[in-house]
A and B are shown apart, each in its own frame.
Chain A
Amino acid sequence: MKVLTLNFLTCAVKTCKSSADSFPLHPKDAELAHDDIEINPELLANVLPRIDWTALRTTSTELGFPELPAQPPTVEELEADEALLKELHSLLLETQMMEGKLVCGCCGHEYAVREGIANFLLPSHLV
């Protein structure tokens, strides 16, 4: 699971959707891996407006990365700032959560991540 993907995922339980606490999910016992991927500025510029920045700051801190600035850069700022491009590329695309759990801050449900694949299937009492 790339950190980018974590930014797209919330709790699968329908009653949690309306609660702000269900997003982002909180990594627990996370084992991280780093993939070497060629940097793609076009992709990062495209992705930036779709990122929930506040959620990304939370995830990044929870995974033990240095704190991100409070405000997201604009696309123009990002394209002009090579260091920032590299940092975001490394965080969003190269960092993978391989093992651990993703926990909902609303209902407490834990989604297991194994071999980089998260499981969002719910038991019947939560459907």
Chain B
Amino acid sequence: MEYLIRFSQSHETFRLPEIQALALIEKVDLKIVSYSLESPFCIATLPSEDAARRLIRRSILVQSIHELWGSGATRSALHASIREHSADLWPLYQTCSFKFTFDSYQGARTSETKKEIINTFSYLPFNGPIKMRNPDQEFVLLEDWPWNSVPDGVLDPNYFYFGRLLGSGARDLPQKLDLKKRRYISTTSMDAELALVTANIALAAPGKLYYDPFVGTGSFPIACAQFGALAFGSDIDGRSIRGNDAKRTLRGNFEQYGLLDCMGGMFTADLTNSPIRRAPLGKAAGESDGVSGRIFDGIVCDPPYGVREGLRVLGVREPEKTPWIIPKGMEMYKLPEFVPPKKPYSFLAMLDDILQFSAQTLVDNGRLSFWTPTANDEDQEIPIPTHPYLEIVNVCTQVFNKWSRRLITYRRIPDTEVDPEKVKAREEEESTQQLQGKTVDELNPFRRAYFSKFET
């Protein structure tokens, strides 16, 4: 059976990755029949009505899903299509209560024309009562109007779809987690809608373990917890976890949303000196069952870009020039007020650290989803980082005026699927870098100045 998915016309490149992830979570066999970035209407085949409802119940970018009864470029084509495709379904709805509604994308109808149009459906043998509130069934005429059709006085839409409404997405969740109403946020908190989409694409679900190594105020763990996962986080800045007063803390955010049961551990740590135990890769790993020694089902994060949030790792910037820092640390480090020195680090090296960490801590088929900025200009684009143990699942882009940011998602592939040639290439690259005694920073094409352009 064909179903019509009505997306919201925003975050277009995230829509298919989200719905495909939901199909995996709900174990639903989804086949896309027609889809375009320019349209909110998508036709798909699904095994059942129940599968259709489950597929979209936690979707952020789907508004509704319908059993598709017919479609066409003109009203007469639509009616012919309904007669041809859905006549066998009509008897099922002969006696139930029902109503007709309109979903006019980029268009509008007066209530008079709506009535006129509804009357053209009088051949449907619906004898039950019309109920405007909570009818047994809702039938929807979805219309795809051209851009600006109201001011331009366009008379008819480009396309019609007619369907029986089955269910709606989770449009209430972005409102529930809205940053404007959240107790504790910072300038880099991820907006609720995109954090939820990220959690969906990363397959967060009840009983699973998720981790954000750059947790800040906790937007990603909260979104994962909202979908039932146990969510962990850490940050090099302990203040971001402790917050600024008793209520305005990361824990307080979980509390505000009634999600405390899904809060795992939160701690202060530098990803480049992480205390999380890791499984060795390669031969040292031996025969793997794909789970033992590993911890997480998903890792989701927005790493520091190094402009505003200060990308820092533990260490001394120029030890030769400041020889007193290390001895002073040795003397002072046990005091509670001791602040360990930090130094700048390269963004690309940090991305590689995230990939390596994920390869070592994700279970088989676990997902890594992280955000990175990039230039809109093609030849300044930042390459998508790769790792032999991680397969790129999809790349979604959110475009701003001068720059864009991407959500890149990987799957931890089972060891048996890893290409040994790629492992060798990676090992060689690592050893030549060490041999040349170069710092990651020197090898890095990426410059601070480069990113400072994205500031506005």
Interface residues of chain A, those whose CB is within 8 Å of chain B, are: 1-2, 4-5, 8-14, 23, 35, 37-38, 40, 42-43, 45-47, 49-50, 52, 110-112, 115-125, 127
Residues in B with CB closer than 8 Å to A116 are 251, 266
In B91-120, the 8 Å CB interface with A consists of none
Among candidates B208, B260, B293, B329, residue contacting A123 with C-beta atoms closer than 8 Å: B329
Q: B195 within 8 Å of A by Cβ? A: no
Contact in complex: A14, B340 (CB < 8 Å): no
CB-defined interface of B50-90 with A at 8 Å, one 1/0 digit per residue?
A: 00000000000000000000000000000000000000000
Contact in complex: A1, B207 (CB < 8 Å): no
Among candidates B277, B315, B334, B363, residue contacting A9 with C-beta atoms closer than 8 Å: B277
Contact-size category for B: 35 or more
Q: Complex: how many Å from CA A124 to CA B230?
A: 33
Q: Complex: how many Å from CA A10 to CA B276?
A: 6
Residues in A with CB closer than 8 Å to B264 are 2, 4-5
Residues in B with CB closer than 8 Å to A9 are 267, 275-277
Contact in complex: A123, B338 (CB < 8 Å): yes
Report if A8-B207 is in contact (Cβ < 8 Å); known contacts: A119-B267, A124-B326. no
Q: Complex: how many Å from CA A23 to CA B278?
A: 11
Closest chain-A Cβ to B374's Cβ sits at a distance in Å of 30
Residues in A with CB closer than 8 Å to B291 are 49-50
Q: Complex: how many Å from CA A125 to CA B270?
A: 15
Residues in B with CB closer than 8 Å to A115 are 242
Contact in complex: B276, A8 (CB < 8 Å): yes
Q: Complex: how many Å from CA A1 to CA B297?
A: 20
Q: Complex: how many Å from CA A121 to CA B385?
A: 27
Which 10 A-B residue pairs are closest in the complex by CB-CB distance? A5-B265, A42-B207, A123-B333, A123-B329, A120-B269, A43-B207, A12-B275, A118-B267, A119-B268, A120-B275
Contact in complex: B273, A50 (CB < 8 Å): no
Contact in complex: B329, A117 (CB < 8 Å): no
Contact in complex: A5, B232 (CB < 8 Å): yes
